[in-house]
Copies of this chain bind each other. A is one copy, B any other.
Amino acid sequence: MFLSKLFLPITKNLPSDAKIKSHQLMLRAGMIKQSSAGIYSWLPIGLKVMKKIEEIVREEQNKIGAQELLMPTIQPAEIWKESKRYEDYGEEMLRIKDRQGREMLYGPTNEELITDIFRSSIKSYKSLPQMLYHIQWKFRDEIRPRFGVMRCREFFMKDAYSFDVDEANAKISYNKMFYSYLKTFKRLGLQAIPMAADTGPIGGDLSHEFIILAETGESKIYTDKSIFKIDVNNYNFDIKSLEKMRNDFSSVYAATDDKFEQIKFDKLVTKQNQIITKGIEVGHIFYFGDKYSKPLNCFIDNKDGKKNSVKMGSYGIGVSRLVGAIIEANYEKEVMKWPKSISPFDVVIIPSISKNNKENLTKSLKLYDDLKKQNIDVLLDDVDENMSQKFKKHDLIGIPYQIIVGSKSTESKIEFKEINSESSFIDFKEVKSKIKS
């Protein structure tokens, strides 16, 4: 892609409510544009990043045997009346009347609808366990939407649901999802800490939040440094190993404000190991048994011939929110650096161009074609600007690798720079391994 063609409206004007750095960066770098309060359009590079995150989330869900489907955004009120959440949900639910006067709503979550699908499809214990998920837009009519995509009204979320014959099996599904979440966040370049959490309006008695450390986070968190030593890659995808993984995490102190106890913290964690900081929730998982299956009559025929309500859990990752969270974790001192796995481009070529000398541009075009042929997604900055303006702009866009084509580059060596590091001169044929390593 040539930068001169890319729809990338970089701007300096920030609205006064853009208070956190991810919100500011996303507006300045032309990743999003506000459409109305808490509702955004995703412009090309913003969408590209979000779609890469979506794809990683999808792959990791598929790996643990979850199956993708897609529920609509607009739901009928009836099923929410069956679960008794229609009134409980309050004003955050966007309620709609269609032209026939039927009560509808824009789904804020999907426990009811997935239970409705399940009850009409699966009748026997033989078809269990099942894990189903979708990645779909949701709406929560926040009274005070803020922080850009981090607390907006229309947001993109992966929500998965597990269905099991009994609680013991349901906890196995829960552990699988727990594992999948850690793998997912790792691929996104995030170090997420699972913390026992309150269940809130979803209900149930077992729940974990996955939280990344960030000074701009909304939750205050307390934990032990040693939690970072637990590596999901040291566990296997089998029942015993997953149980051990969860036990290992549970054995280290980690709590949000809601669950924090000073005495316990001081007793269990040495002073030098105590971490007190803020964090951003990037995932939340729940086990709630038959909270929905019972009122919605979602029964299965068990081995013993009896009918039992299916045991369920739900598992959410805020995909659009993650774009903001990843910026919070990676944007420092006016320089953004995307993790390779989700960068809008693999590399950018930045030629020094002047009106009378197009030699660098010609050289760059050749490099561009050569990289394209190697299946590298490359941006060419063919805009006629001075180099310091260009570098500033690319500090904002955050592509992790740069090839600089200027007076210093020679026939055989090109200037290669990882953002936030010194540049070096390398052979062209080394570029691919540098970028893809």
Could you tell me if A113 and B74 are in contact, using CB atoms closer than 8 angstroms?
no
Q: Which residues of B contact A104 (CB under 8 A)?
A: 36
The segment from A65-73, A373-381, A411-419 found at the interface with B is: A65-73
Q: Which residues of B contact A276 (CB under 8 A)?
A: none
Least Cβ distance of A71 to chain B in Å?
A: 5
Q: Which residues of B contact A96 (CB under 8 A)?
A: 94, 96, 106
Could you tell me if A70 and B42 are in contact, using CB atoms closer than 8 angstroms?
yes
Least Cβ distance of A101 to chain B in Å?
A: 11
Considering residues A69, A91, A137, which has the most beta carbons from chain B within 10 angstroms of its beta carbon? Answer: A69
Could you tell me if A72 and B9 are in contact, using CB atoms closer than 8 angstroms?
no
Could you tell me if A117 and B33 are in contact, using CB atoms closer than 8 angstroms?
yes
Given A9-B121, A75-B35, A69 contacting B98 (CB threshold 8 A): no
Copies of this chain present: 2
Q: Which residues of B contact A121 (CB under 8 A)?
A: 7, 9, 30, 33
Provide the bound-state CA to CA distance between A41 and B121, in Å: 13
Given A35-B76, A137-B137, A70 contacting B41 (CB threshold 8 A): yes
Could you tell me if A113 and B35 are in contact, using CB atoms closer than 8 angstroms?
yes
Given A7-B132, A44-B67, A113-B41, A72 contacting B143 (CB threshold 8 A): no
Could you tell me if B130 and A7 are in contact, using CB atoms closer than 8 angstroms?
yes
Q: Which residues of B contact A117 (CB under 8 A)?
A: 33, 41, 43
Could you tell me if B7 and A141 are in contact, using CB atoms closer than 8 angstroms?
no
> 1/0 per residue A46-71: CB within 8 Å of B?
11001000000000000001011111
Q: Which residues of B contact A102 (CB under 8 A)?
A: 36-37
Chain B's closest residue to A78 (CB) is B36
The residue from B47, B69, B71, B113 contacting A68, defined by CB atoms under 8 A apart = B47
Provide the bound-state CA to CA distance between A120 and B41, in Å: 13
A122 in the interface (beta carbon within 8 A): yes
Chain B's closest residue to A8 (CB) is B121
Provide the bound-state CA to CA distance between A40 and B72, in Å: 6
Provide the bound-state CA to CA distance between A354 and B116, in Å: 34
Within 8 A of B (CB), among A147-202: 153-154
Least Cβ distance of A289 to chain B in Å?
A: 21
Provide the bound-state CA to CA distance between A284 and B143, in Å: 39
Q: Which residues of B contact A72 (CB under 8 A)?
A: 35, 39-41, 137, 154
> 1/0 per residue A74-95: CB within 8 Å of B?
1110000000000000011010
Q: Which residues of B contact A303 (CB under 8 A)?
A: none
A99 in the interface (beta carbon within 8 A): yes
Q: Which residues of B contact A50 (CB under 8 A)?
A: 70
The residue from B69, B76, B113 contacting A44, defined by CB atoms under 8 A apart = B69
Could you tell me if A122 and B9 are in contact, using CB atoms closer than 8 angstroms?
yes
Q: Which residues of B contact A99 (CB under 8 A)?
A: 91-92, 141, 143
The residue from B69, B120, B122, B154 contacting A42, defined by CB atoms under 8 A apart = B69
Could you tell me if B143 and A9 are in contact, using CB atoms closer than 8 angstroms?
no
Q: List 6 A-B contacts (CB under 8 A).
A: A7-B130, A9-B122, A33-B117, A91-B99, A94-B98, A96-B96
| A-B residue pairs, 9 tightest by C-beta | A9-B121, A36-B76, A42-B70, A91-B99, A41-B71, A72-B154, A99-B141, A39-B72, A47-B70
Q: List 18 other contacts, CB 8 Å, given A6-B67, A7-B69, A74-B153.
A: A7-B121, A33-B120, A35-B75, A36-B74, A36-B102, A36-B104, A40-B72, A41-B71, A41-B117, A42-B70, A44-B69, A50-B70, A72-B137, A73-B137, A94-B96, A94-B98, A98-B141, A99-B141
